[in-house]
Chain A
Amino acid sequence: MSTSKNSVSKENKINYILYLADTTLILSHRNSEWCGHAPIIEQDIALTNIALDLLGQARNFYQYAAELIGNNATEDSLAYLRIENEYKNLLLTELPNDDWGNTVLRQFYFSVYQFYLYQQLQKSDDEQLVAIANKAIKEVSYHVRWSGEWVVRLGDGTKESHQRMLNAIENLKNYLGEMFIAADYETAMNIDLNTIQKQWDEKVTSVFAEATLPLPKNIFNHIGGKTGVHTEYLGYILTEMQYLQRTYPNAVW
């Protein structure tokens, strides 16, 4: 990244930070739906830990965005009081969890993307983004490791687990391209998505080879999440997530 502070408009920067915040928040929420339902308590804790890591990252991004927006915006107003078409999260993150295989494969796809993305943010000339990326990348490294091991375990496991991973690959395949197709505000931020895609391809290919899984084929790329055009699922997520704040405005802990 060769961004200089003056070359990025404030609006683009805010949109980009909201994209990072919304994406981590929505995936955190999806993962949190497993709390109390995972196949075994140890994995319940593991996935809930990941949900909490993502929530922590989302908070950091929202706080920074709120600071830039001003106007009494807070992390809570950004998370709880915006509607679907203001949300900029990747479509991938709002898809239903489906089974465990689908959940860990989605986490793996996303964590690998996030890892290489944060590597670029670490070199950003925005000190705040550098600080967030530095803190978060250690968490993300572990998410890549944890989810990658599950992909191998299930892909190269039993006949049943292999079939479920094939189903998951099919389920998710049309929602991967969006990660690498830049929205205008990303282009403005000079994020090098081509490099990220190359690194992502390499990592996914090597883990899939170990997992004896085929790479996704016949892909059609659904896009829109980054600019607020979402699947039907996001509305339901926000309804549940924002219920309390909308029913009891300004409620605090």
Chain B
Amino acid sequence: MNNLIKKFFYGDYGEIEEGASTSQDDQWPLWEIFIRSKQGLDHKHVGSLHAADAKMAIENARDVYTRRQEGISIWVVESKNITASNPDEAGELFEPAQDKIYRHPTFYHLPEKVNHM
């Protein structure tokens, strides 16, 4: 019982119940689903689901995520193909940006002739 604290990363399955099968062999792989809405310019992550292959993932996504006209285009990516940043490294990755507010474009003065920015 060395491993009392288990870390979960993006795309991990949830906690496995005591006594339940811990084998992942009988589970279909997990897929991340991206949907582009009618007015949308880009695909947005909407959630994840299980499917045996990419084709089934698209169809499952159609039934799970586009029943209410949410989208006109679907991307699916198997979750294992996504590499996530480690939450433990959040400090070194993101904190250095905190005190560098001059990186925001609000410090630039736009010429008056440039509208709508």
Contacts and interface: CB of A to CB of B under 8 A. Distances in A.
Q: List the 9 closest pairs (A to B, CB-CB), nearest first.
A: A42-B60, A46-B63, A45-B63, A42-B49, A49-B63, A45-B64, A40-B50, A42-B50, A42-B64
A153 B56 CA distance: 10
Nearest to A157: B52
B55 A149 contact: yes
Contacts of B28: 40
A162 to B, nearest CB: 16
Task: Give the interface SS of chain A, mostly helix, strand, loop or mixed.
Answer: helix
A208 interface: no
A34 interface: no
B59 interface: yes
B51 interface: yes
Interface of A: 40-43, 45-46, 49, 145-146, 149, 153
Interface of B: 28, 49-52, 55-56, 59-60, 63-64, 67
Contacts, number: 25
A153 B59 CA distance: 14
A145 B55 CA distance: 11
B20 to A, nearest CB: 16
B52 A153 contact: yes
22 contacts: A40-B28, A40-B50, A42-B49, A42-B50, A42-B51, A42-B60, A42-B63, A42-B64, A43-B60, A45-B60, A45-B63, A45-B64, A46-B59, A46-B60, A46-B63, A49-B63, A49-B67, A145-B59, A146-B59, A149-B55, A149-B59, A153-B52
A40 B50 CA distance: 8
Residue of B49, B60, B63 with highest tally of chain A CB at under 10 A: B63
Contacts of B56: 149, 153
Contacts of B55: 149
